[in-house]
Amino acid sequence: MLTVGLTGGIGAGKSEVSRLLVSYGAVLIDADKIAREVVEPGTPGLAAVVEAFGRDVLTPDGALDRPRLGAVVFADPDRLATLNGIIHPLVRDRSAELQSAAAPDAVVVHDVPLLTENGLAPLYDVVVVVDASPETQLDRLVRFRGMTEAEARSRMAAQATREQRCALADYVIDNDGPLEALEPQVRTVWQALTGRAADAHPPG
């Protein structure tokens, strides 16, 4: 098995790269998706969040009110640390569970937006960074995600720099151009990953 940490700045196009990797045969473990699942109604995760932050962070039907919780934690580093202390262990445990279910010769791709910021590179055999210029990121966030320019710049500024991410990368995928320029690069990286997985798990 080869474990891959896939990361990239907001708006760099990481989800498109992960979609392509899955289409080639990768096992995808999406940290953001798991982070939502572990606080669904009825989970111990949601109960722990309510215990820490009160019932005000719930919607009328008992689900987590993400915008309201976000407004509480992002203005207060201590409360954000409390939330991360609840969510991160649950995400880590679920990710490990999913990884252990993969085949011995699988390429397991962990989609981890904050890999650089949280110092997670050592957890993976290989790190792949999806890279785009800040100008491209800004354009995509405004055009495709409906953010204001100020909001987009603020989200980008809260993340690691392009240089910090690329310094950790074993492979960098340049996603500044059109979609048709992306696919050949991702396929090349996939061939390298499957080669490394085969070396790590020789047949017989």
- Domains parsed from the chain with CATH numbers: 1-26+106-199 (3.40.50.300), 34-104 (3.40.50.300)
Percent of the chain with pLDDT over 90: 79
Residue with tokens 């679920």, as numbered in its chain: 94
pLDDT at residue 55 tops 60: yes
pLDDT at 52: 96
pLDDT tens digits for range 70-102: 888 877 889 989 999 999 999 999 999 999 999
pLDDT band at 203 (very low <50, low <70, confident <90, very high): low
Using the CB atoms, write b or e for 67-96: b if 16+ within 10 Å. eebeebbeeeeeeeebbeebbeebbeebbe
Q: Supply the pTM of this predicted model.
A: 0.86
pLDDT band at 122 (very low <50, low <70, confident <90, very high): very high
Average model confidence (pLDDT) across the chain: 93
Cβ partners under 8 Å of residue 142, min gap 6: 148, 149, 152
| 3-state SS assignment for residue 6 | strand
Neighbours of 1 (CB within 10 A): 16
pLDDT at 202: 66
AA letter at 6: L
Selected residue with higher pLDDT from 94 and 204: 94
pLDDT band at 115 (very low <50, low <70, confident <90, very high): very high
CA pair distance 46, 73, nearest whole angstrom: 15
CA pair distance 179, 156, nearest whole angstrom: 22
pLDDT at 116: 94
CA pair distance 39, 88, nearest whole angstrom: 11
pLDDT tens digits for range 141-184: 999 998 899 989 988 988 999 999 999 999 999 999 888 999 99
pLDDT at residue 204 tops 70: no
pLDDT at 199: 84
Cβ partners under 8 Å of residue 165, min gap 6: 7, 8, 9, 116, 129, 131
pLDDT at residue 42 tops 90: yes
CA pair distance 131, 137, nearest whole angstrom: 9
pLDDT at 201: 67
| Sequential DSSP letters for 137-148 | HHHHHHHHS---
CA pair distance 73, 141, nearest whole angstrom: 23
Which tokens in the block code for residue 177?
A: 């151009």
